[in-house]
Structure 1
Amino acid sequence: MIIIHAGLQVNPAKQEDFLNEIKPLIAASREESGNISYDLHKDTEKENVFTMVEVWKDAQAVASHNETAHFTSFVSRAKDFLTSPLDVKAYDGQPLER
């Protein structure tokens, strides 16, 4: 399982545009084969900071996602509403046995 945290610092003047652009990305990504979850979270302590938390079945699912039109389209427009580059961290997660 691959877990990705993508930090997004949004220009306050462009936050509405950002949210309008990211909603189709979220919906389409959730429909992809190999996607377990794809959720946007707003930081409760820092204004205009969001984190996309993605969970994928495996590295192949991530690679396929990174080539989709909805992902590449969003990334190409991200500079229009972000104040810094995406801060992407990926983790290899394994379920814990209880």
Structure 2
Amino acid sequence: MIIIHAVIHIDLTKQQSFLEEIETLIHASRQESGNISYNLYKDTEREHTFTMVEVWQDAAAVASHNTSEHFTSFAAKASTFLVAPLDIKAFDGYLLKS
């Protein structure tokens, strides 16, 4: 399982546009084969910061997502919303059996 955290710092004046655009990305990404979850969270302390938490079945699912039309379309528009580079971290998740 691959878990991705993408911290997104946006221009406050463009927050509504950002939320509208990312809604399309979230909906389409959740429909992808290999997607376990895809959720956006708003930081409670920083008004302009969001974190996308993605969980994928494997690296192949992530690679497919990264070349999907909905992802590349959003990525092409992302710079109009951002005030800082994305901070992306990927984790290899596994479950421990008790």
Fold conserved between structures, TM > 0.5: yes
Please name the residue that 2:16 is paired with.
Answer: 16
Shift of 1:85: 1.3
- TM-score, normalised to structure 2's length? 0.98
User: What is the distance in 2 between the residues matched to 1:68 and 1:76?
Assistant: 12
User: What is the Cα deviation at residue 97 of structure 1?
Assistant: 1.7
| Overall identity of the aligned pairs, in % | 62
1:87-98 maps to which residues of 2 (within 5 A)?
87-98=87-98
Asked if 1:39 is matched to 2:39, the reply is yes
Structure 1 counterpart of 2:6: 6
Root-mean-square deviation (CA, aligned residues, Å) is 0.6
Correspondence for 1:74: 74
Distance 1:90 1:51 in 2: 13
Structure 1 unaligned runs (5+)?
none
Gap runs ≥5 in structure 2:
none
Question: Within 5 Å, which residues of 2 pair with 1:47-58?
Answer: 47-58=47-58
Structure 1 moving runs of 4+ over 2 Å:
none
Give the whole-Å Cα distance in 1 for the aligned partners of 2:96 and 2:77.
38
